[in-house]
A = this chain, B = another copy of it.
Amino acid sequence: MAEKQDEKKVTPRSQDFAAWYNDIVLRAELADYSPVRGTMVFRPDGFAIWEALRDELDRRIKKTGARNAYFPIFIPESFLRKEAEHVEGFAPEVAVVTHAGGKPLDEPLVVRPTSETIINHMLAQWIHSHRDLPMMVNQWCNVVRWEMRTRLFLRTSEFLWQEGHTAHATREEAERETLTILELYRSFVEEFLAIPLVVGRKSAAERFPGAVETYAIEGLMGDARALQCGTSHFLGQNFARPFEIRFLDERNELQYVWQTSWGVSTRLLGGIVMTHGDDQGLRLPPAVASTQAVIVPISRKPEEGEKVLAAARAALEALENSGIRVRLDAREGLTPGFKFNDWEMRGVPVRIEIGPRDVAAGEAVLARRDRQGAEAKSKAALGEIGPRVKSLLDEIQRSLYQQALAAMRANTREFDDYGAFKKQMEGEGGGGFADVYWCGNPACETRIREETKASCRAIPMNQTGAAGKCIVCGRPAAERAFFAKAY
C-alpha cells in the first residue's frame, strides 16, 4: 500500500482542487469508490476519523438530554406523502424496495432519506401527557439519497449521519432547542474539527422540506466554495399535525407538540480534507486524529539501530503515558524519507524523529504537520517528551483553526455593487463568501443563483439592525446574507 505512494504525484491543490481532493482521499486511504454507482467505501483510516468525531459529538448531544434510539430503515411510501413539502423534496431522490422475501410488496418501501416520518409515527404512540415532554431522540444511521455521480464524502447515494428529533410542549422551547443544537454544532465543528464557520438561518428556498425555519453552519473550503456542515430545523407543527402527535397539557387539554430535527453527516470528513489538506496530503486536527504522533527511528549503521530503537520505545511509552495516541514506525526496508512522506500524506499532526545523535544528546526532533520546512521543526528533551508533544498538539489544533480562519476571512468580502459581486463569483479562482444586503425577495435570490451559481448560505442572526439596499434590486433590505458557490 505505502509502497505505491510514489507512483504518481498528487495533483497540486492550486492547479485542480477537485483532482487534488480525490488524490488525497484515495492516497491517504480514507475512502474508495464502490462498484455500486453513487456509493463509496469508508476505509479504516477514514472511518477512524468518523469514529472520533462521532464519539465526541455523541457525548455532547447526550449531555443535552437526548438519548439514542434506532428506527427502521424502511419507510412506507404513504408516510412520506403525509407532509406535502417533505414528499416533494425527497421523492425524486429515494431508493425504493419493491420486492422482498421473493415476492412483490403490497406497498413499496422507501429506504430512509431522513427519518422524520417514521420517527414521528412512533412519537405519536409514546407521547400522551406533558410529563412525557420534552422527548428527545437521536439516531446514528445510514441514509440514502440517490446520486448518479459519487463525490467521495461530499455527495454519495448512501451516507452516515446522526439525526436528532425532539418534541416539546411549547413553540418557544422547540425554537430554543433548534438554536441550542445549532450552537452545539458550531462549537463542536470549530473546536474539534478546527473548521471556522458562518452561522445563520437559511432562506426559504434553502430550507429543509417540511421545516418552518432551517439554521445551518457553513464552512469555506480551500477552493473558496462553501460546505454546509450541519443543519438544525424548527419544524413547528408541520409533522405533529399529520402524524397526530398530541399531549394533554397541564389544564388537561389536547395540544399538538412543537418539534425540531437536526443532523450532521460524514460529509464533515470531506470538510476536514478540504479545509486543512495541502499538497503533501492530509492535515488532521489532533482532536480527531487516531494517530496524533508517530515516532520514526533513524539509523544508518546496524550497530546504532538497537540504541535508537530502545530510545524510540522509551519515547513511545512516555507519550502513551501522557495520553497521546502515538505509533512507532519501526517498519524495515523503508527509508526515513519514505516514512516521512507516508505520514505526512496521512495527516499525522506530529512526527518525532530519533537518530543516533539525538539519542546521544538525549533529545528528539519534533516536526509539526501544520508548518513547512525549518519552521516546522523543534527539539525536545526525551525526558520531557510527553508534556512537550501534548502542548504542541494543542498548539496545532489552534493553529489549524487560525490558518483556516485567516483563509475564510481573506475570502469573505462585503459588496454593495452587484457587478463587483458577480465578477468575484466568476471564473476558476472566483468564489468566497459575499456578505451583502438582500431584500429577502426570492426573485433576487434566484437571479443571483442563475447569474453567479452562488446560493444563499446563511442569514446571520443578531444583525446590527442597520438597513441597506438589496444588492440585486436596490430596494430596502433589513438584513445582510452570505452568498457563495457551494458543494
Which A residues fall within an 8 A CB radius of B?
1, 3, 32, 34-36, 39-44, 47-48, 50-51, 67-76, 79, 91-102, 108-109, 111, 118, 121-122, 125-126, 128-129, 131-132, 137, 141-142, 144, 146-148, 157-158, 160
Contacts and interface: CB of A to CB of B under 8 A. Distances in A.
B36 A74 contact: yes
Given A32-B125, A48-B68, A122-B32, A73 B142 contact: yes
Given A73-B144, A92-B102, 12 more contacts: A35-B76, A35-B79, A35-B118, A36-B75, A36-B109, A36-B118, A47-B69, A74-B95, A96-B99, A96-B100, A98-B99, A111-B111
A32 B144 CA distance: 24
5 contacts: A1-B126, A35-B118, A36-B76, A44-B67, A95-B99
A158 B36 contact: no
A148 B101 CA distance: 8
B132 A72 contact: no
Contacts of A67: 44, 47-48
B40 A72 contact: yes
Nearest to A101: B146
A322 to B, nearest CB: 21
A158 B98 CA distance: 16
Given A97-B111, A101-B148, A158 B72 contact: yes
Contacts of A121: 35
Contact of A97 (B51, B95, B126, B141): B95
Contacts of A47: 67-70
Nearest to A58: B51
B41 A70 contact: yes
Given A41-B71, A118-B34, A95 B102 contact: no
Given A73-B144, A94-B100, A99-B95, A122 B158 contact: no
A79 B129 CA distance: 50
Given A97-B97, A98-B99, A160 B70 contact: yes
Contacts of A70: 41-42, 47, 50, 160
A50 to B, nearest CB: 8
A101 B97 contact: no
A125 B3 CA distance: 15
A101 B93 contact: yes
A315 B131 CA distance: 26
Nearest to A94: B100
B43 A68 contact: no
Contacts of A69: 41-44, 47
Contacts of A95: 74, 97, 99-101, 109
Contacts of A111: 73, 97, 111
Contacts of A1: 126, 128, 132
A319 to B, nearest CB: 19
A211 to B, nearest CB: 23
A126 B1 CA distance: 8
B101 A98 contact: no
A73 B158 contact: yes
B100 A146 contact: yes
**Most chain B CB inside 10 Å of its own CB: which residue of A72, A76, A95, A96:** A72
